[in-house]
Amino acid sequence: MTTGTTGPADDAPLFGAESQFSAFFDDPRWALAMIRATVLEAAHPQIGAALVDNSTFVAHPWRRLRNTFLSMRRMFDADPAVREREAARLNRLHARMSGSDSRGRAYDAMDRAARAWVIATLFESAVTMCRLSGQPLDRVTMERMYAEYRAFLAALDGDAGELPADLHDFWPYFDGVVENVLENTEAARVILYRLFDHLPAPALLAGAPTLWAAGRAVVSPLIGAITVASLPEPYRRRAGLPEMPGAPTAMQGAYLAAGLTRFLPAGWINAGTIIETLSLSPGSDDPRARTVTALHARMKQASALLRLLTPLRGDTGDGTAPAAPGEGRRMAEEFFRQVLDQTGDGHLDWPDLAAMARELATRLDLDEPEETRLYDAFAAWWRELQAALDTDGDGRVSAGEYAAAVPSLAGPALIRVAEVLFDATDKDGNGAIDADEYRALFRTAFHRDLTITDGTYGRSAFVGDFLSFMSGRRTNTPYDPLLADA
């Protein structure tokens, strides 16, 4: 089975800028299609269980979006070396995810049938988005795109045998999985009914909680209704998903409106730029930060005006809860929620620390063995935390157990995490982090609060700052967005 480098009809490349996939990447319709595909993925019992146990999409959806976008760009890069390196990274990531669901059924993120279903949902949702927007794909284009997605699967699994070889056979396969395999899983319900209702603001809107909450209250139910209406009818029936009156019309209108963007001048919509801009924090040294900072100021003004008109109970106007007199640091519960509980399930366990390691390894673009060293260090820290904080012996740490203990707990294992992270960031191994290495980790220039005399960041200072942050003793440091950003 070939991984595919040329198309079946016109010998056009299956990867790179000339692929059909790349043509859709900056298409606003793709956002709707991706939400739909994600629900269909999460409805698969194996994938849904893996998402519930390991994913950060609830607590850190914007970070997850950015990393997913970057990964898909790499997987469809024209350079085979880039694709192979990213496939190896994804396989290492998935190999660390296995367990059992709430019904005791085993799941494994390396299950080939489940991985094939992920690719199948992306392809079928792309076809569906074109049909719903009044621009159905012709047979030749559809076959070429199907070849691209099979090549994507082959790049991950070594071959594409889990997907039918012919497009004609794909549709019975897809319908069979929908009717016989998919379930109303917890992960699917979270995406449909919880994720958008509680979606945290991206960095751009972090200082305008009232404005964000008001907009979210209007948009979230609409997105949910549109997504449900777009799902295959057999799945909606089996899962008992209600279809709101008027939802099919709203769905059709949303896809048609998004499809009209094809009349905009080329380059006006760039998904990468949009995602990067949303991720920028005001005050960043990125050249785009001046615009972001100005927009942020406008958002805060609008939020303040809206708050005067419709005050929200308990809102202070700056996104924080009213501070207790004399409170000098983040409360233990807040630190637990924002930093430690990466999966957003209300408990601290190994998947949370694994998510931290995964995010840091992604930022630094680590290969083996550096990635494994980082995971091993976090695993040792988890064992240390579990031994010290898990008072009821249930194998995880609750917010109450954390708050009742010493929040500033920082033992040898956490020191080891800091040292391994320093070594991974110090790419040239000279014992200090320079400006470029610092930017790779923090995505900004040297923080103004750092005491740097020679243009570098030394090991002892790095380890001390990291320990102070991870033990909840210091806030407003460059480490805050590193693991706490949405």
Chain segment 421-444, per-residue pLDDT in tens: 999 999 999 999 998 999 899 887
Q: How far is CA 363 from CA 171, 210, 295, 443, in A?
A: 38, 31, 26, 9
What per-residue string of b and e applies to 296-329 under the rule 16 or more CB within 10 Å gives b? beebbeebeebbeeeeeeebebebeeeeeeeeee
3-state class of 106 per DSSP? strand
- Given a cut of 70, whether residue 320 has pLDDT beyond it is no
**Whole-angstrom distance, CA of residue 24 vs CA of residue 73:** 12
85 class by beta-carbon count within 10 Å (0-12 exposed, 13-18 middle, 19+ buried):
middle
pTM for this predicted structure: 0.82
Instruction: Write out pLDDT tens, residues 190-232.
Output: 999 888 888 887 776 666 777 788 888 888 888 989 999 999 9
Q: For residues 381 and 443, which has the higher predicted lDDT (pLDDT)?
A: 381
- The maximal CA–CA distance of the chain, rounded, in angstroms, is 71
Q: Who wins on pLDDT, 214 or 11?
A: 214
DSSP code at position 479: T
Contact indicator for 80, 99 with CB cutoff of 8 Å: no
Rounded to whole angstroms, how far apart are CA atoms 231 and 257?
Answer: 19
Residue 285: pLDDT band by 50, 70, 90 thresholds?
Answer: low
279: region left, alpha or beta (phi > 0 left; psi from -120 to 50 alpha): alpha
* Greater model confidence, 326 or 423: 423
Instruction: Give percent of the chain above pLDDT 90.
Output: 45
CA atoms within 13 A on the CB side of 163: 33
What pairs with residue 347 in β-bridges?
398
Q: Could you tell me the sign of the dihedral formed by the alpha carbons of 180, 185, 191, 194, in that order?
A: positive
Position 319 scores a pLDDT of 41
pLDDT at 478: 74
Band (pLDDT 50/70/90 cuts) for residue 323 is very low
Q: Which helix (H) or strand (E) holds 275?
A: helix 271-279
What DSSP assignment string belongs to 53-83?
HH--TTT-HHHHHHHHHHHHHHHT-S-HHHH
Quick one: pLDDT band at residue 45, thresholds 50, 70, 90? very high
Among 98-112, 309-323, 447-461, 472-486, the range with the most confident prediction by mean pLDDT is 98-112
Domains and CATH numbers, the chain: 20-260 (no CATH), 332-484 (1.10.238.10)
Average the pLDDT over 120-144 and give the result: 94
Q: Give Cα separations from 226 to 254, 297, 355, 416, 432 (angstroms).
A: 8, 32, 30, 48, 51
Say what the pLDDT of residue 200 is: 81
Per-chain mean pLDDT for the chain? 83
